[in-house]
Structures are given as structure tokens and as C-alpha cells.
């Protein structure tokens, strides 16, 4: 969370440059933004609550500047709480990503010593601590080191002092990447913000301190201050098309790309899925770990491996993993599923797994991300940049890879390729044959509903959970997904006349039971919306999807994504940036 970009070089219109980079990073947080540049012996600052939008800054040209897009953790969404934060003299500025767990103690201590706070953020303690260390005669580098060592939690900070021609940065878990240019150097939370300027990068590791100057970048050990070698890497992959390409928003663009993503996995992922299948076969206990949408891909994986490959794999929520770590051994395989590759809970789960000697695998979309680099074996999702905060095509890519891997493990990769090929065509056909308009009509019909329920069984139970998440996070309609068999155990009490209920009824062994559940809901007033290859009288509204066998979770996801999308649009919400969310969840 929080996008960060910094520049040190020859004097330039840094304000506009930083703002441009922040626009590309805004999916990391869009509560507020801010830019600071050195202006002789003061910091010139522009910061504001709200999205960047068409904002422009009028800041002087400068050789040093940085900026931040915020996802609020401590303190409301206000101008004062936006980063950068300055010290009392206005000579020091700080930007930060993370949560300073001990900020209350630090703030009390600093207030007792007379510091005045201008914000409610945890971040502001950093600038006052650095200020004190400088006053005590420490260099900017050492003052930053001293300060960072006092912070608890997973954090990244960058410090600017107008008397120095340098930026000092350090981090734990929260990503920072250094960009090495010609007469200029850069730092960012994300490679995508750097490639416009340079493809030579250094991934800052935990407990390293980077000192960026126009003509050099130094790396030091946080604890000892000893110099460290700079491990330069070349970004040799394309960041992909980041434009809207004629679509009204990224969500529609990314939903439309799903057929291509699945087709590419069906035809080109043989080597990856063979290697993954071998790792799973050789492990004694495989754990699929994900958060949110990725956790539903993981849960789908556990059904796929069970039914296709007769193999038990565990699906675990990233944030709950540490409470189940006791099952890990040096023969376990922990497989991280993540679009961003930066989700703090997943990184922590993988660090725990590594500490127990387990092997680490990853299915990750963002190349060069923390999980991509830390995994022993990483499979790229190949979905291309996912810029809508909601995960759509990365989810579908995870499902496709898991489906093909399960079939490979079962010795039937050709069946996997076949059903994925059919699913890819079905996704494209759904959109080209008016599926979106059909779902929009459903959204119009149920638009006034406050609650919506989704049921599925077996392979499509996780689909129901994912459908409900997609609908609620973008449209703010309260949606809940259930295993249809659980209805009579309490859930059915929620139904009243006209409550919309989405029903996933594929042509598999779950069909009869799911239709019985739907009938029970209908008898209690539910408005049944069937997503199925075949109509049934229980459906009040029918959304036809193709019959693609065990790839049904892939084709079923699209109507649910579209339903969320159209409900959001009808209610006047931006589907790409739902309230309170951010794309990379780098805090716990």
C-alpha cells in the first residue's frame, strides 16, 4: 500500500515528474497524495486529500524530490495527514509506507520533549526522531538508521534533508526499488514507476539502507552501517500495456482480456505446470496460500487437486497461516498465490515456511515483486498489468494454472488444455454475444436490493465466495457467498421476499443438490438468478454460460464480475478504485 517515488539528479521540473509517477502508482492508495522538493534551504510542498485526478503542482525546479500516494492506516483522510511530513523547521521531509506499531510510545516520548505534531499519523514520529538525531550530531544516514531501528512493524521510509544532496531510504518487507540512471537516481515502491527512466535496478533488501545521490548509490547495513555491494539487475520484461485501450475503465478492459489469458496458459504453460506438478507430487503436504480473491483461487485449487489428481492440498488464508504453521516440515511446499507479489500476510507466511525448511513456490503476476524473487520456484501469471483494484484476470489466471497443474499431476494434461481452451473461447463468446448487456439488465432489475446471496457447491463453492466479494467490494451491495448445503443450517433465515440469489449450477455432480437448494430459497421469496449451461424452471432469471467441465469456475466468474461492475456503474461508483481499498496490501 502507498505508492512512493523519489528522484535525485540534475535540477529538473521534479514536481511534475513525481506527480506523473504517482499517477502510475495511485492504485497502491488513493486517499491522498503529496510531493516535496528541495527549494534552497526549505522544502516546497504540495499535498492534498483525495485522488490525484487532474491535479498539477507548481513547485520550483529542483535536484531532489519525492512523493507519496496514501492508503490511510493512522489518522483520517485529510490534507494534514497526507505525506510528506515535515519537521518543525521545515528542513526535513519524510514519506513512509507501513505501520509503526510502537508509534504511540514514540509520540508520547517526543511530545514530552517538546515536539509539536501537525498530523495524526504514525509517520510523523519518524521526522521528529530524525530531527533529534541530526541535532545530536549524527549524519543524515546515521540519523535515518537510528530512527528506523526504533520502529516496530513492517515499514519503508525515505528521508530528505535540504542541507544534503541525497535521499536516504530503508525498509523491512515493504518494497523499495532503486533505479540507477545516468546522472540521476530514483527510488520507488514499484518497478512500473521506474522503467520510464531506467531498467537498471537494485531491489533493496530488508535491513539495508540506500543513499541516493545524483552520481552514486550507496548501500549500507542498517545495523552496522557497513558498506554492502550493490547488486544491479536489469528489468528485461515488459511492464505491458498500461493504457485503457479504448475501454471506459480498467475493470472492463481486464475482464475482456481473460479469454486471452486463459488461452495463453492452455497453450504455453506446459513446462511450468509439469514442474509445479512434480513439486506437489514430491512434497509431503502442499499449502496454497492467498488473501481475498487469491484465497478463493487457493480454495478452488484444493477442490481441483482432490477431484482431478486425487491429491489433498491445503488452502490457507495468508493472515491465518501462522496459526497453522505447526504442520510445516522441511518436506512441505508452501505455494503463494498473489497478483501483486507484495501482500504482507503472504510474505510473512512464506518467511515462516522458509524458517521451517519448507520449499516456497509462487504464482505471481508482478515480475520482480518480493514473492516472485523470494520463491524457490515462481510461475508468472502472465495476465499483464492489472490496474483495476479488483482482481479479475489474475484470479482467472490462477484458476487456469491450477486446473492445468492438477491435470498434469493426474497424467491428463491434454484434458486440462482442452477444457481451458474451451473456457477461453467461452469467455470471449460471452462478451461478444451480448453477455455484458444481459448482466446489466439483471443489475437494473435488482439494483435497489440491499442484500444479495450467492450459492455454489463443490468446485463452485469458492466461486460463490469470490462472486460475493467481487459484487460487494465494487458496488457496496451487501453480498454473501454460501455453500448451498449450509442453507438449512441457518443461512436461509436471511431470505425475504424478492432477495436476489445468484446460483451457480454447472453440469456436474452438484447440479441436482444446488437446484434443490435454489428451490428452497425460491420458496421463501428468493429471486433466483441462475448461472448455468442449462436453464431450469427454478431460475427467475437465467444467465447462460458454456459447459466446460472442471473449468466451470473460470466461466462462472465472469457473470459475477460483470454483475458487480454494472451494479457499481448504475450506482455511480468508480469500478477501478472502490472506497477504502488499495491494490497492494503491504501492511498486515
Binding site for ligand F6R (CB under 6 A): 291-294, 338-340, 343, 346, 390-391, 469, 473, 585
Cβ proximity to ligand F6R: between 294 and 399 the closer is 294
- Our CB check for ligand F6R shows the closer of 510 and 586 to be 586
Active site residue 583: yes
Over the range 440-455, which residues count as b (16 or more CB within 10 Å of their CB) and which as e?
bebbeebeeeeebbbb
422/577 with CB nearer ligand F6R: 577
Q: Which three cell numbers stand for residue 321?
A: 497461516
CA of 232: how far to CAs of 122, 180, 367, in Å?
33, 8, 16
Contact (Cβ atoms closer than 8 angstroms) between residue 250 and residue 388: yes
Contact between 553 and 507 under an 8 Å Cβ cutoff? The reply is no
Cα–Cα distances (Å) from 68 to 8, 29, 33, 46, in that order, read 16, 9, 6, 11
Pick 93 or 349: Cβ nearer ligand F6R? 349
**Is the CB of residue 567 less than 8 Å from the CB of residue 475?**
yes
Instruction: Indicate the residue among 167 and 346 with the shorter CB distance to ligand F6R.
Output: 346
Nearer to ligand F6R, 185 or 293 (CB): 293
CB 68, min distance to ligand F6R, A: 20
Separation of CA 112 from chain center: 39
Strands (E), 225-358: 233-234, 286-290, 314-317, 333-338
Tell the smallest beta-carbon distance from residue 412 to ligand F6R (Å): 28
CA distance 266 to 277: 15
N- to C-terminal Cα separation, the chain: 10
The C-alpha cell that represents 217 in the structure block: 548509490
Torsion of Cα atoms, 365 then 368 then 372 then 374, to 10°: -160
Burial of 51 (0-12, 13-18, 19+ CB in 10 A): middle
Q: Which is nearer to ligand F6R, 495 or 587 (CB)?
A: 587
| Cα–Cα distance, 501 to 479 (Å, whole number) | 9
Catalytic residue among 470, 522, 583, 588: 583
Helices 552-570 and 258-268, axial angle in degrees (round to 10): 160
Is the CB of 364 or the CB of 443 nearer to ligand F6R? 364
- Maximum CA extent, the chain: 80
Residue whose CB is less far from ligand F6R, 81 or 293: 293
C-alpha–C-alpha distance, residues 199 and 202, integer Å? 10
- 2, 291, 388, 501: the active-site residue: 2
Count Cβ neighbours within 10 Å for each residue of 392-423 and write b for 16 or more, e otherwise. bbbbbbbbbbbbbbbbbbbeebebbbbbbbbb
**Is the CB of residue 28 less than 8 Å from the CB of residue 582?**
yes
Of 349, 319, 317, the closest CA to residue 333 belongs to 349
CB of residue 302 vs ligand F6R: minimum separation in angstroms? 17
- Bridge partners of 209, per DSSP, are 170, 220
Q: Which residues are marked as active site?
A: 2, 583
Amino acid at each position: 500500500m502507498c505508492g512512493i517515488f523519489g528522484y535525485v539528479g540534475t535540477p529538473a521540473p521534479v514536481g511534475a515528474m513525481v506527480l506523473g509517477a504517482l499517477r502510475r502508482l495511485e492504485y497502491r492508495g488513493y486517499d491522498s497524495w503529496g510531493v516535496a522538493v528541495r527549494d534552497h534551504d526549505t522544502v516546497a510542498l504540495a499535498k492534498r486529500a483525495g485522488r490525484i485526478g487532474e491535479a498539477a503542482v507548481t513547485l520550483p525546479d529542483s535536484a531532489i524530490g519525492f512523493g507519496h500516494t496514501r492508503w490511510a492506516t493512522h489518522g483520517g483522510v485529510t490534507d494534514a495527514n497526507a505525506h510528506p511530513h515535515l519537521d518543525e523547521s521545515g528542513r526535513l521531509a519524510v514519506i513512509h509506507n507501513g505501520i509503526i506499531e510502537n508509534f504511540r510510545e514514540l509520540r508520547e516520548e517526543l511530545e514530552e520533549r517538546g515536539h509539536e505534531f501537525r498530523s495524526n499519523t504514525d509517520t510523523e514520529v519518524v521526522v521528529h526522531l530524525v530531527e533529534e538525531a541530526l541535532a545530536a550530531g549524527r549524519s543524515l544516514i546515521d540519523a535515518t538508521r537510528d530512527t528506523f531501528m526504533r520502529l516496530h512493524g513492517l515499514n519503508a521510509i525515505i528521508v530528505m534533508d535540504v542541507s544534503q544532496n541525497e535521499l536516504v531510504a530503508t525498509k523491512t518487507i515493504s518494497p523499495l526499488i532503486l533505479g540507477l540512471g545516468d546522472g540521476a537516481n530514483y527510488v520507488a515502491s514499484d518497478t512500473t514507476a521506474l522503467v520510464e527512466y531506467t531498467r537498471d535496478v537494485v531491489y533493496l533488501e530488508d535491513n539495508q539502507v540506500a543513499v541516493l545521490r545524483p552520481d552514486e548509490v550507496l548501500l549500507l547495513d542498517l545495523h552496522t552501517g557497513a558498506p554492502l555491494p550493490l547488486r544491479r539487475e536489469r528489468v528485461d520484461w515488459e511492464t505491458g500495456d498500461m493504457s485503457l485501450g479504448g475501454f471506459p475503465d480498467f475493470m472492463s478492459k481486464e475482464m475482456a482480456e481473460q479469454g486471452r489469458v486463459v488461452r495463453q496458459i492452455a497453450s504455453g504453460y506446459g513446462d511450468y505446470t509439469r514442474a509445479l506438478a512434480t513439486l506437489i507430487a514430491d512434497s509431503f503436504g502442499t499449502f496454497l496460500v492467498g488473501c481475498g480473491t487469491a484465497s478463493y483461487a487457493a480454495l478452488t485449487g484444493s477442490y481441483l487437486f482432490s477431484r482431478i489428481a486425487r491429491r489433498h492440498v491445503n488452502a490457507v488464508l495468508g493472515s491465518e497461516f501462522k496459526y497453522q504453521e505447526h504442520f510445516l516440515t522441511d518436506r512441505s511446499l508452501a505455494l503463494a498465490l498473489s497478483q501483486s507479489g507484495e501482500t504482507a500476510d503472504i510474505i510473512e507466511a512464506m518467511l515462516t515456511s522458509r524458517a521451517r525448511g519448507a520449499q516456497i513456490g509462487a504464482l505471481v503476476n508482478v515480475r520482480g515483486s518480493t514473492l516472485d524473487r523470494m520463491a524457490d520456484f515462481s510461475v508468472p501469471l502472465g495476465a499483464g498489468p492489472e490496474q483495476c483494484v479488483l482482481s479479475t484476470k489474475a484470479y482467472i489466471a490462477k484458476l487456469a494454472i491450477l486446473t492445468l497443474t492438477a491435470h498434469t499431476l493426474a497424467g491428463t494434461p491434454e484434458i486440462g488444455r482442452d477444457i481451458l481452451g474451451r473456457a477461453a473461447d467461452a469467455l470471449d463468446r460471452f462478451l461478444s454475444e451480448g453477455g455484458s448487456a444481459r448482466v446489466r439488465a439483471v443489475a437494473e432489475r435488482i439494483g435497489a436490493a440491499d442484500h444479495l446471496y450467492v450459492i455454489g457447491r463443490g468446485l463452485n463453492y469458492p466461486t460463490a465466495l469470490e462472486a460475493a466479494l467481487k459484487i460487494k467490494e465494487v458496488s457496496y451491495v451487501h453480498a454473501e457467498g454460501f455453500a448451498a448445503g449450509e442453507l438449512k443450517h441457518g443461512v436461509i433465515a436471511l431470505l425475504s421476499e424478492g432477495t436476489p440469489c445468484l446460483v451457480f449450477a454447472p453440469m456436474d455432480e452438484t447440479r441436482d443438490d444446488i437446484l434443490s437448494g435454489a428451490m428452497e430459497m425460491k420458496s421463501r421469496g428468493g429471486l433466483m438468478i441462475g448461472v448455468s449451461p442449462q436453464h431450469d424452471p427454478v431460475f427467475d432469471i437465467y444467465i447462460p454460460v458454456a459447459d466446460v467441465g472442471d473449468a466451470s469456475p473460470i466461466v462462472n466468474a465472469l457473470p459475477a464480475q460483470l454483475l458487480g461492475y454494472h451494479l457499481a456503474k448504475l450506482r455511480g461508483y468508480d469500478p477501478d478504485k472502490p472506497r477504502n481499498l488499495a491494490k497492494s496490501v503491504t501492511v498486515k
